[in-house]
Amino acid sequence: MASSYVAGLAILKRQGAGMIIRFVLLSLFLTYSVTAQAVPVSDAAHGTRSYDEYEKPLVCQSCHDDIYQQWTQAMMSQAYTHHWDEIEYFELAIPHAEKDEMVAGVKHGCNGCHAPTSFLAGDTPPPRPEENSRANESVHCDHCHSVTGFEGDIPHNFNWISEPGRLKKGPKPGVESPHHDTVENDFIKTGDFCGTCHNEMSPYGIWVKSTHLEWKEGPYYEQGVHCQDCHMPKAKGRSAKMGEEGMIAQHLFHGAHDPGKLNGSIEMRMNPLEREVEYDGAAVINVQLFNGKCGHKVPSGSVEDRIMWLHVTATDSEGKTWHLPVDPKGFAGEEYTIAADEMAYQDMAIAKNIPDFAGVQRDGVPVGDRIFRMAYFDPQGRMTIQQWNTKSLGFDYRIGPRETKVETFTWEMPDDIAFGPVRLDAVLKYQRLVTPVAEFLNVPAEEYEPQIINVATTTFEVFE
């Protein structure tokens, strides 16, 4: 190619400098295009790199001490070592993939987002976390700062383009380092960068993770508010020991695993329609839930696992307490959004080799509570927590950005209610994994411990 380039220049010298400039620019463009197209992406990238091409996070720590420590406390550093993800991958995904050709790709593909360097190195399945291999680096510094863009129209299923080397890609221009070269990359500042892993399509063509798409369809995208604005907020500081002070993106990545991010993410109020109710009458109570904090739906991400539910109780003047079930609204598929004593998740039997498996209890929360979720269904139409085995989706009853949902509770006064004030309490709770599934798979308790998102209270009087 070099000899052709020189020969071409020799011929063009006789035709003027302008022609030479155009020739050089065209050659550079074609060379860049060939190089860009030659970088394998997504499934095609499996096994095309080596671990040695990516620096270990500890190397980055030597200069970026504060950012490194932030990262070690974030889920990005635990994407592979997190207990529930380990159980899901090794006890469900891999054995399922080995039995069903339709989902065989998840054996390698899960690592494209959870242990991307292992995926690129072809080290899949990687060793278990207790073996302390480089898979434990999870989503690490050099991976994100080697990404140049994504391939296709929609970022999803790890379709990032990774080009490792001395040149690191960052959000700022003119940054100098004694260890590596740095170039500004606008892509790393956008929500599309996050979407390469925070959107996922199942082998059946179903969007089973769509946090980026939810944001892009919502009001914050139109206002230019990106994922990083909330999950990597800026503060004064230094990105490196020798760096100048400025506004630095904090590498917190706080989301569904962070209690501070969850607290108050949904605002809640409640009121009775009447402040005085006859002892043989009925109280009607409305609870309003407003998503004024999240730029995507709640819950989001691993929606197949996650559950958020509203629990309402009434306590009379003598201390007797009753649980109030939600009033049905009558939409198709609502039965999956009201807690019931139903069985589900029978497709776990494929990986666990359990014939005639009846499943486990679907919800694990008080019967009658309102659940904010979107059910996932396997090819047999059964509710599943295995996103790779999802062929269809149920009704989406999550709370969108700046959306308010109103839940109504109609309560016939019980015969033994005491006269006087009645206190109503509403509690909105959240779990990252439904309890019956967690118990069945022996997931550590801290992985699915319920967290209170918000509470509300009000009163009315019972009279003769």
Q: What is the CATH number of the domain that holds 406?
A: 2.60.40.3880
Please check whether residues 243 and 266 belong to one and the same domain.
no
DSSP secondary structure code for residue 110 in this structure: T
Domains: count for the chain: 2
Asked which of 230, 249, 268 is the last residue of a domain, the reply is 249
Judged against a pLDDT cut of 60, whether residue 332 lies above it is answered with yes
CB 453 within 8 A of CB 265: yes
What is the maximum span of the chain, computed from C-alpha positions, in angstroms? 108
SS3 463: strand
The per-type count for the chain, helices as H runs and strands as E runs, is 17, 21
**What is the pLDDT at residue 321?**
98
At residue 8 the predicted structure's pLDDT band, cuts being 50, 70 and 90, is very low
Mean pLDDT of 275-299: 97
Please check whether residues 129 and 153 belong to one and the same domain.
yes
Token duo for residue 306: 């996650």
Judged against a pLDDT cut of 80, whether residue 385 lies above it is answered with yes
Judged against a pLDDT cut of 70, whether residue 273 lies above it is answered with yes
Domain that holds residue 204: 44-249
Please check whether residues 244 and 277 belong to one and the same domain.
no
Cβ atoms within 10 Å of 141's Cβ, excluding its own: 24
Task: Give 56's contacts (C-beta < 8 A, 6+ positions apart).
Answer: 134, 137, 140, 142
Please check whether residues 103 and 212 belong to one and the same domain.
yes
For residues 385 and 360, give the distance between their C-alpha atoms in angstroms, rounded to a whole number. 11
Mean pLDDT of 198-205: 98
CB 321 within 8 A of CB 314: yes
Judged against a pLDDT cut of 50, whether residue 6 lies above it is answered with no
**What is the pLDDT at residue 38?**
72
Give a yes or no: residue 370 inside a domain: yes
CB 123 within 8 A of CB 135: yes
For 142-196, write each residue's pLDDT tens digit. 999 999 999 999 999 999 999 999 999 999 998 889 999 999 999 999 999 999 9
For residues 424 and 194, give the distance between their C-alpha atoms in angstroms, rounded to a whole number. 41
DSSP secondary structure code for residue 162 in this structure: E
- Average pLDDT value for the chain: 92
What stretch of H or E contains 191? helix 191-198
At residue 252 the predicted structure's pLDDT band, cuts being 50, 70 and 90, is very high
Please check whether residues 63 and 199 belong to one and the same domain.
yes
Which has the minimum average pLDDT: 1-15, 325-339, 450-464? Answer: 1-15
Please check whether residues 54 and 166 belong to one and the same domain.
yes
Give a yes or no: residue 33 inside a domain: no
Asked which of 249, 267, 284 is the last residue of a domain, the reply is 249
Which has the minimum average pLDDT: 234-248, 304-318, 323-337, 375-389? Answer: 234-248
Please check whether residues 334 and 200 belong to one and the same domain.
no
Judged against a pLDDT cut of 90, whether residue 388 lies above it is answered with yes
Please check whether residues 111 and 204 belong to one and the same domain.
yes
Q: What is the pTM of this model?
A: 0.90
Mean pLDDT of 126-143: 98
For residues 209 and 22, give the distance between their C-alpha atoms in angstroms, rounded to a whole number. 46
**What is the pLDDT at residue 134?**
98
At residue 13 the predicted structure's pLDDT band, cuts being 50, 70 and 90, is very low
Tell me which residue of 373, 284, 385, 273 sits closest to 327, measured CA to CA. 284
**What is the pLDDT at residue 464?**
86
Please check whether residues 108 and 132 belong to one and the same domain.
yes
Task: Identify the top-confidence range among 11-20, 32-41, 114-123, 169-178.
Answer: 114-123
Give a yes or no: residue 453 inside a domain: yes
B/e letters for 100-119, b = 16+ CB within 10 Å, e = fewer, are beebebbbbbbbbbbbbbbb
Please check whether residues 347 and 305 belong to one and the same domain.
yes
Mean pLDDT of 64-75: 97
Please check whether residues 198 and 65 belong to one and the same domain.
yes
Give a yes or no: residue 32 inside a domain: no
For residues 106 and 389, give the distance between their C-alpha atoms in angstroms, rounded to a whole number. 10
Give a yes or no: residue 17 inside a domain: no
Please check whether residues 279 and 190 belong to one and the same domain.
no
Asked which of 216, 231, 249 is the last residue of a domain, the reply is 249
